[in-house]
């Protein structure tokens, strides 16, 4: 299989990887949409979606009823509805840019996935081989650079709608995302200053970040960064909520005062693309947080994947190691996605002035002070390999 893949033309490999990304992200985003409704129902003490079902599945004893109550067929119904529903274009919009905006929303969401490692296995020489589509040394920089382009879709959608409320939503999106990108970037600088300290290999690779959290035993220099850099983790997580337009930072689409914000004039399939992109950004953001602060595919602090594989006796089976690492990684991502949804249905929405005040007057000074502290710590401690 590996030999067959290596013999393919690079363009063919890129095309297959692109299809793989689309085949994974679209179902995951749809599953997040269903999970959002089930989580909100659980928090509010109601059943949630539990009516849609395919007739022939309903005939299956026990299983049909279970799947119906789980609500899985609502995912199929929603997808079909968005795809085949009539999608009129308002007369006042700039049609070219109005249609282009949802596509621009999807491109960064799908592109950033390629630089995110989601597991690893060990080859015959015991070397770590990450599971990812593109292993680049500037992995985090690539993710930040591409994901930040997503704001242009919101601005373009608001401007092209030629309507006041969408325009205000686009303006809010640009101000909010620029504000919190500063804090987010400053929050990860201590992590990469630490892994690029004197005596270590200079790299912005997310795989390298996980490697430095993969020490056996609870050694201070290899424990998960959420414990050694808790302020960085908190600032990054808050900024991630704002960057993904999640509640309580959903100012660009605040229906309480902007009807629907930047997507007010959108419907059907084009409307759904904006929210597939939002869930995709949420998934990628949760994956980045897991890699930076939660040890990536390592099960527990002080128990790296190599030690776990040796303990359970499957270290010589690369396929099993890869599947276990993917399972651990996805488990952490799912927990973070649940936190996103939990916060949405428990915390009231901020006012726009509160969002800006939090970003500029609270979060940014904390991120700057935290960076200075770690600069001094690295200068005096000088961690080595």
Residues 6+ apart with CB under 8 A from 8: 16
Place of tokens 């490999």: 13
What is the average per-residue pLDDT within 251-260?
72
User: Nearest to residue 43, comparing CAs of 371, 331, 340?
Assistant: 340
Phi and psi based region of residue 90 (left: phi greater than 0; alpha: psi -120 to 50; beta: remaining): beta
- 300 DSSP β-pair partners: 303
Write the DSSP assignment of 232-272 as a string of letters: HHHHHHHHHHHHTT-TTS-GGG-HHHHTTGGGTT--HHHHH
- Size of the chain in residues: 385
As to burial, measured by CB atoms within 10 angstroms (0-12 exposed, 13-18 middle, 19+ buried), residue 342 is middle
Write the DSSP assignment of 330-373 as a string of letters: HHHHHHHHHHHHHHHTTSPPPPHHHHHHIIIIIIHHHHHHHHHH
- pLDDT reading at 384 higher than 80: no
pLDDT in tens, 42-51: 998 888 888 8
% pLDDT > 90, the chain: 13
Find the farthest-apart pair of alpha carbons in the chain and give their distance in angstroms, rounded: 70
Place of tokens 């959420």: 226
pLDDT in tens, 285-323: 999 999 999 888 888 887 888 888 888 888 777 788 888
- Count of helix runs (H) and strand runs (E) in the chain: 18, 2
- pLDDT reading at 231 higher than 90: yes
Rounded-to-integer distance, Cα 82 and Cα 200, Å: 50
Backbone angles phi, psi at 250, to 5 degrees: -85, 55
- pLDDT reading at 137 higher than 90: no
User: Nearest to residue 187, comparing CAs of 230, 235, 153, 147?
Assistant: 235
* C-beta of residue 187 within 8 angstroms of C-beta of residue 235: yes
Tell me the pLDDT band of 164, cut-offs 50, 70 and 90: confident
End-to-end Cα, the chain, rounded Å: 36
E strands in 106-191:
120-122, 128-130
pLDDT in tens, 177-227: 888 888 999 999 988 888 876 666 667 788 888 888 877 666 666 788 898
Distances in whole angstroms, Cα of residue 367 to Cα of each of 30, 78, 233, 242: 34, 41, 10, 15
Rounded-to-integer distance, Cα 73 and Cα 269, Å: 18
Rounded-to-integer distance, Cα 206 and Cα 134, Å: 11
Q: What share of the chain is helix, strand, coil (3-state, %, to 5)?
A: 70, 0, 30
């Amino acid at each position: 299989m590996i030999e067959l893949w290596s013999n393919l033309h690079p363009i063919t490999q890129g095309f297959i990887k692109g299809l793989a990304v689309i085949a994974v992200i679209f179902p995951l985003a749809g599953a997040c949409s269903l999970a959002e409704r089930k989580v909100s129902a659980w928090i509010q003490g109601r059943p949630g979606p539990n009516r849609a079902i395919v007739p022939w599945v309903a005939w299956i004893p026990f299983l049909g009823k279970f799947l119906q109550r789980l609500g899985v067929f609502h995912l199929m119904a929603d997808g079909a509805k968005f795809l085949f529903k009539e999608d009129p274009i308002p007369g006042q919009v700039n049609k070219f840019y109005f249609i282009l905006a949802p596509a621009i929303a999807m491109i960064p969401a799908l592109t950033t996935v390629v630089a995110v490692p989601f597991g690893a296995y060990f080859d015959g020489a015991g070397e770590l081989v990450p599971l990812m589509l593109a292993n680049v040394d500037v992995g985090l920089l690539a993710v930040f650079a591409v994901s930040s382009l997503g704001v242009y879709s919101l601005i373009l959608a608001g401007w092209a709608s030629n309507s006041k409320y969408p325009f205000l939503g686009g303006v809010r999106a640009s101000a909010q995302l620029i504000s919190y990108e500063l804090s987010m970037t400053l929050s990860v600088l201590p992590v990469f200053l630490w892994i690029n300290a004197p005596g270590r290999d200079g790299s912005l690779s997310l795989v390298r970040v996980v490697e430095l959290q993969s020490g056996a035993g609870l050694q201070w220099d290899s424990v998960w960064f959420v414990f050694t850099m808790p302020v960085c983790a908190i600032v990054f997580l808050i900024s991630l909520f704002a960057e993904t337009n999640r509640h309580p930072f959903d100012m660009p689409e605040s229906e309480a005062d902007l009807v629907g914000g930047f997507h007010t004039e959108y419907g059907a399939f084009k409307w759904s693309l904006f929210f597939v992109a939002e869930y995709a950004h949420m998934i990628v953001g949760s994956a980045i947080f897991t890699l930076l602060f939660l040890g990536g595919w390592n099960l527990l602090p002080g128990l790296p994947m190599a030690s776990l594989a040796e303990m359970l006796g499957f270290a010589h089976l690369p396929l099993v190691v890869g599947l276990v690492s993917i399972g651990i990684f996805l488990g952490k991502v799912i927990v973070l996605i649940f936190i996103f949804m939990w916060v949405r249905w428990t915390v009231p929405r901020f006012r726009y002035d509160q969002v800006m005040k939090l970003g500029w007057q609270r979060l940014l000074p904390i991120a700057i002070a935290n960076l200075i502290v770690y600069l001094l710590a690295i200068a005096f401690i000088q961690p080595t390999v």
